[in-house]
Amino acid sequence: MSWLSLIFGEKKPTASVAKERLQLIIAHERASLSGPDFLPDLQRDLVAVISKYFPVNPDDIKVGLEKQGNYEVLEVNIVLPEGR
């Protein structure tokens, strides 16, 4: 800051920063909220099927949908009980 702006108390224009931050967060939240909401159901069904064969805990099955570029990746992670 120059000595002039020190004297006249020039303020930093921060609105553009606010706008950029909002553009990012709003786009992100819209994408995550408008995503498919069948994931909890899918997880429940998977638990039901897999428990027929293994004694699994509902928390040991994780289902997630991720966006990678143009693709959506459905990730299912099942932790089988130890000692089998």
Count of Cβ atoms closer than 10 Å to residue 63 Cβ:
19
Q: DSSP code of 34? A: S
Q: CB-wise, 38 or 54, nearer to another protein?
A: 38
**Among residues 4, 8, 9, 11, which is the contact residue for another protein, using CB under 8 A?**
11
If binding means CB under 8 A, how many residues of this protein chain bind another protein?
Answer: 16
Q: Which of 1, 4, 6, 15 binds another protein (CB under 8 A)?
A: 15
Of 48-67, binders to another protein (CB under 8 A) are none
Q: Do residues 9 and 23 make contact, with C-beta atoms less than 8 angstroms apart?
A: no
